[in-house]
Amino acid sequence: MSERAAPYEVPAIARADEILRRLAERGSPVRPADLARDCGMPRSSLYLLLETLEARRWIERTGEGYVIGLALLSLGSAYLRHDSLEPAFRDAAAAFVARHNEVMQLAMLDGTDVAYLAREDARRPVRLVTDPGSRLPAHACALGKALLASFSDADVLARLPSPLPALTERTVTDPAALLAELATARRTGVALDLEEVSAGLSCYAAYVGQTALGRRVAISTSLPADRLDPRHADAVRAGLLDAARQIAARVTVGDRPGG
């Protein structure tokens, strides 16, 4: 995750942040003893922080340990309300899903990663490896390519790590090949990944634009291989571009998708 180093830190807040991140990484309750070990924290200090976080419902205690609390859901969902992203996305995504019966996701660029913000599911299932709050390397996924295409090639190369990590055997790891794909995305308005994140799954993405708060956002849809017939794929790409324009008209300033 992209983080900014503060010139001066409040130790208690830094420790609370470490606790919350440890709990978020785990899919099951975490015992205090494990938290103390993983965070390198004295148990006396840990218990005081746990009691405070629990009192504010940032965490919840179960029979076996602690999990993320309900209050963080409310705080996290506020992120999308600051620049009206959520209602704009929900309206466009609902129309897209109703017409094409395919999932739609919303994401933003954060450093070298794509951070997933929201999702509208379709009636028929698709096996995704991402949920709101999850992250992927920008170069490997369609959403990341749509977002990177909003920068110049020089900015892209300066931003990305070297070497580019592969998530599957089909992930593009050659910078020149990636830049060629970004050029295509700029020309067509749609970025693509063909099983670069997950085998059997292809994704299309369209850039939305930059919000008033400076967030570069994009939307995507994901199709399993058995639904990749040319006619349906063409319709989905057109629908994605239309949805991107709808969202952009409500939330973006400056650059927007063409058309």
Q: Which tokens hold the place of 56?
A: 């504010």
> Could you please report the per-residue DSSP string of 202-229?
EEEEEEEEEETTS-EEEEEEEEEGGG--
Nearest Cα to Cα of residue 141 among 118, 164, 120: 164
On whether both 133 and 185 belong to a single domain, the answer is: yes
Is the entire prediction scored with pTM above 0.85?
no
CATH number of the CATH domain containing 236: 3.30.450.40
Q: Which tokens hold the place of 113?
A: 């990663």
Nearby residues of 208 by Cβ (< 8 Å), 6 or more positions away: 217, 218, 219, 244, 247, 248, 251, 252, 256, 257
On whether both 224 and 197 belong to a single domain, the answer is: yes
Q: 49-72: per-residue pLDDT in tens?
A: 999 999 999 999 988 899 999 888
On whether both 57 and 125 belong to a single domain, the answer is: no
On whether both 37 and 92 belong to a single domain, the answer is: no
| Whole-number Cα distances in Å, 214 to 44, 93, 117 | 41, 22, 15
Q: 84-108: per-residue pLDDT in tens?
A: 888 999 999 999 999 999 999 999 9
CATH number of the CATH domain containing 15: 1.10.10.10
3 assigned to some structural domain: no
Contact between 20 and 75 (Cβ < 8 Å): no
Domain boundary among 28, 46, 74: 74
For residue 44, the enclosing domain spans 11-74
On whether both 132 and 171 belong to a single domain, the answer is: yes
